[in-house]
Chains A and B, each alone.
Chain A
Amino acid sequence: MTTTLDQTIEQKQHTWLTSITSNQTFWVVIAVILACIFLSFATESFATSKNLYNITRNVTFVAIIALGMTLVIITGGIDLSVGSVLCLCSMVLAVTMNAGYSLEIGILASLGTAIIVGLFNGILIAYLGFPPFVVTLGMLSLARSLAMVASNNTVVFQFGPDHDLLLALGGGAWLFGIANPVLYMIALALLTGFVLRWTRFGRHVFAIGGNEHAATLTGVPVRPIKVAVYVISALSAGIAGIIQTGWLGAVTTNIGAGMELQVIAAAVIGGANLAGGVGTAFGALVGAALIEVIRNSLGLLGINAFWQGTFIGGAIILAVLFDRIRNLRQSQ
């Protein structure tokens, strides 16, 4: 039988099965599921509702920021400032509420701070051509320092008239006993996934990461979009900061320290490519989940906590190894 040109053009190269199994995120999901099954049998405390509640809640802060980070990474950039921005936004919220303002005003001030930080990063990178690594490295130092200035480096644990409301926002479980932070995370992940797949903005984010020059030539508004992704990244850190403040009930100037590396690790384990052009919202969640499951399980299995870094580092390298093997096979 001869195939006509039309048949060839209509043909799909992948069936759903081959496209799933060639996906890094898929294998990370399998790893998470296998780890959970193993831990349910190996330990008595893993599959308890209290532990699962803890895991899901712990995942959220890294996962929410990893969503924003994924956008940045897809454009081929990086945002090292998220840990410090989380701290700064938490501190702005804490100081504002501590001064007697309502929760709404505190949140507005906090998110406003995030937007300013994001605009600063984004404009320097997109319009003045600074390397993202350098700008956000500067912001990493700057934002934490500002948080110390704002609080005079003290611990804030009194949040004014709306104190209880803030704690309920972050620490409550308003729906089916699922921790509130988890609900926010799911909502934000769905939003991010939708934007990436179904909007022109999302398409352009991928285009910039694939070939920035080509995107410019074809009329994609490259600079505004790059500014937007850094604002989104800072906002995700701000949102995580607000939720974390409500959950912890106190803010110190060292929260979120080193968090940028966990966030980047989560995004990369979930399939985002630091060279740009590849990444998903679901991957960010799965990557964050794998890191948390590893951390949690080492504790439950009674393995010395010093080994944590080894296992997480191994997971990062292993996840990317799958990708490398696939690429090598393709290029041969």
Chain B
Amino acid sequence: MALLELASISKHFGAIQAVNDVSLSLEAGEVTGLMGDNGAGKSTLVKMIAGNFRPSHGAMRLEGTELVMHRPVDARRHGIEIVHQDLALCDNLTAAANVFLGRELRVGVGPFRILDYASMYKRAGQIFAELKSETRPRDLVKQMSGGQRQAVAIARTMLSKAKIVLMDEPTAAISVRQVAEVLNLIRHLRDQGLAVVLISHRMPDVFSVADRVIVMRRGRKVADKKIADSSPEEVTGLITGAIERA
């Protein structure tokens, strides 16, 4: 059974058909590359999965049960986490504080509860170790490299028992070495049995880390196939429209 199933999902904003009759399924322990030109409907699709938008038509099923979400917190509660393109980090806080932002651990009784620094540092450290990332929980995010910042944003998704992680252009604005770091982070997520959706414009990233590639064009899904059965040339053709469908 698929972890998440989208059945004939559509989304329109007024007269604009952003996503048109898209069906797809995500499997646990699989990385799916989601590709397409600007305006192809990738972001809208992901935002529906993340609970930002409600589909105009169609249904979503998580582990077989119907999924209705009104707010992003609903998605988080169902184990769907999103890593935003701008990472949503506070530069003035430590890595651990960012990981726990909005979900701080506290100790004490009743209304007299104080932040539990020790536990937060410890847990954040464990997550960074799991991700094999050299990120120190006590360091300010301000002083971190692009790869470390990604690790902090991804660590957030591992606080709760996430099942699906949606990543919006994680490798768009970082150096070559850091890209390798981030791709490794994605592999670690996959190895822990999560379903990862990687939105990207970068062909080499998708072909090195994804198991499957979905191509969108003008709101429609035009391809959904194993990476092994495809090629960068074919995907490029699908994105631009040189190849109609595959």
Contacts and interface: CB of A to CB of B under 8 A. Distances in A.
Given A5-B134, A6-B125, A210-B91, 17 more contacts: A9-B128, A9-B136, A11-B136, A12-B136, A12-B138, A13-B136, A198-B115, A200-B115, A203-B104, A203-B115, A206-B90, A210-B93, A211-B89, A211-B90, A214-B87, A215-B101, A277-B90
Interface of B: 72-73, 76, 84, 86-93, 97, 101-104, 106, 113-115, 125, 128-129, 132, 134-139, 143, 156
Contacts of A277: 90-92
Contacts of A206: 90, 92-93, 97
Contact of B92 (A10, A210, A217): A210
Contacts of A285: none
Interface string A2-23: 0001101111110000000000
A199 B84 contact: no
B40 to A, nearest CB: 24
A55 to B, nearest CB: 33
Nearest to B128: A9
Contact residues of B: prevailing secondary structure: loop
Contacts of A13: 136, 138-139, 143
Interface of A is mostly: helix
B101 A220 contact: yes
Contacts of B91: 210-211, 277
Contact of B137 (A9, A198, A200): A9
B92 A278 contact: yes
Contact of A218 (B106, B115, B139, B156): B156
A8 B115 contact: no
A219 interface: yes
B104 A200 contact: yes
A214 B136 contact: no
Contacts of B86: 213-214
Given A9-B125, A13-B139, A199-B115, A219 B92 contact: no
A210 B129 CA distance: 26
A203 B97 contact: yes
Interface in A33-75: none
A122 to B, nearest CB: 21
Contacts of A209: 92
Contact of B135 (A9, A12, A203): A9
Interface residues of A, number: 28
A207 B136 contact: no
Given A9-B125, A220-B101, A214 B134 contact: no
Nearest to B139: A13
A219 B73 contact: yes
Interface in A209-263: 209-211, 213-215, 217-220
B45 to A, nearest CB: 19
16 contacts: A9-B125, A9-B136, A10-B136, A197-B115, A198-B115, A207-B97, A211-B88, A211-B89, A213-B86, A213-B88, A214-B101, A215-B90, A217-B84, A218-B88, A219-B76, A219-B103
A206 B93 CA distance: 8
B129 A218 contact: no
A13 B113 CA distance: 28
Nearest to A197: B115
B7 to A, nearest CB: 28
A218 B102 contact: yes
A209 B76 CA distance: 24
A12 B140 CA distance: 11
Nearest to B134: A8
| Central interface residue in A9, A199, A217, by most chain B CB within 10 Å | A9
Q: Which 6 A-B pairs have the closest CB atoms?
A: A210-B90, A277-B92, A214-B88, A219-B102, A210-B92, A218-B102
Contacts of A6: 125, 129
A217 B137 contact: no
Given A210-B90, A277-B90, A278-B92, A199 B114 contact: yes
A114 to B, nearest CB: 23
Contact of A217 (B88, B103, B104, B134): B88
A253 B53 CA distance: 54
A198 B137 CA distance: 17
B93 A207 contact: yes
B174 to A, nearest CB: 18
Contacts of A210: 90-93
B139 A214 contact: no
B127 to A, nearest CB: 10
B166 to A, nearest CB: 13
A225 to B, nearest CB: 12
B85 to A, nearest CB: 11
A197 B128 CA distance: 24
B92 A5 contact: no
Given A218-B101, A220-B101, A5 B90 contact: no
Given A219-B73, A220-B101, A5 B106 contact: no
A253 B155 CA distance: 55
A108 B136 CA distance: 48
Contact of A207 (B90, B113, B114, B138): B90
Nearest to A209: B92
Contacts of B138: 12-13
A18 to B, nearest CB: 13
A212 to B, nearest CB: 9
